[in-house]
Structure 1
Amino acid sequence: EATPTSSRPSHRRLIGRGQLLLLAAAVLGAFVALMPRAADHASACAFDPLRPYAYEADQTRTAYRLAFDAVSSNALFANDPFFSLPPIERGTRSNRANAEAFIPADLLKAVSWVESDMTMAQRAVPFDSIGEALVSFDCGHGLTQVTTGMTVPLGANNLPSDRQVLIATHYAYNVARGAQIMAEKWNTAPEQRPVVGTDTNSDPALIENWYYAVWGYNGFTGPGS
């Protein structure tokens, strides 16, 4: 697997599997920090007029890649009714049935790389530090550019909900929500999009079979989506 690179400032430090969990617990409090938004920045949508803060991991994206590996088999938040990965349907158009929750990890990593350069914070934020979270002009948040449910505040008193804060500020929850959305796109076949891989019983382990789900991840519109 190629090592990702980027032009952002770097304070490099590799994060192991055990450290990933410790890191998430240690900086969870800092993830929910908010600050006033500068006028020349893109809208933070659900957080306006504030700006969420997020942790940006090491330059090799070790923590992020481990999170994608875990979520691909529903090993990240399996018991969470909101963030767990749903069952993935298999079978031909007339023979669809729920199967185990699974999405190829390499597919999720590739989508994240295209969507955000696999980053959680703004480009000016150094690696291994906390800074302004990545929010796109159309309300896409973080690594997987989650837009669904992130355009307006959904909490009490017109504030962001706890789930919105987690998606915008904590990479593990952002990864989980992005994987969930991808699974939802897959599971809408054949009702909303064609079934791919009928000769393989629509096996989700084959990345090629995710063609229309990946297309639908960013709107199922024309070329360039």
Structure 2
Amino acid sequence: MLDVTTAGRRVLDELLYLSDPETGTVEISQNEMCAELGSSKPTVNRGFKELYACRLGWTVKDRFYQLHPLLTGGMVSSPVMPVPAIRAAEPERFTEQRWARFTAQSSSYVLGSPADALVTIPRPVLRLLALVDVTTAGRRVLDELLYLHDQETGTVEISQNEMCAELGSSKPTVNRGFKELRECGLTWSLEDGLYQLHPLLTGGKVSSPVMPVPAIRAAEPEGFTARRRSRYAAQTANLDIAG
């Protein structure tokens, strides 16, 4: 619902990957973040700015960033730290339907899944997501699929019209999001209205033990810098999903 751009989401994924599990903090300079992501400094600066604007993360002191406790299991660096409310980046652009959903979701302040179970993504997978580079449309669809997925099979039963209603987005935007996820190998259709998430996102859960699992691919690897291509190759090799 927040609609941070790809720049903001990639920075967030890397901060989650690097965060201290006891405090929810990360010690990293913006130059170091550029090196981690293989991105330019203006892009990384924009990512940090978006996260601050949405209150998903903020500076505690030079080089130290605090992630919102909703992202860290309640962990913060100080028990008396004031915690800001999470805000949408550009709420004035929301449709009426999407604004109503955002208000309902943010006012409850505890974002649980339908199964009341935590959705856990391993740190190395978060780093991979930071490098895959799907657009905001794709990442919003992915987040909703993760929220709705069956904990036993990693599947989601939802039509594209229902996804439009869930996100308050247009059908072309949702179609583009599903297409990106399919091209990257993060999710695919089993049948009309039934989607399978990649087992790296579901703790290994799939709907069939003999299901062929595609390799996760970057959206536009030809646009990668040499440094970023090297990091992406190392990460996919580390997760044994290169292809």
Q: Going by fraction, where is helix more abundant, 1 or 2?
A: 2
After TM superposition, the score normalised by the length of structure 2 is 0.28
After TM superposition, the score normalised by the length of structure 1 is 0.30
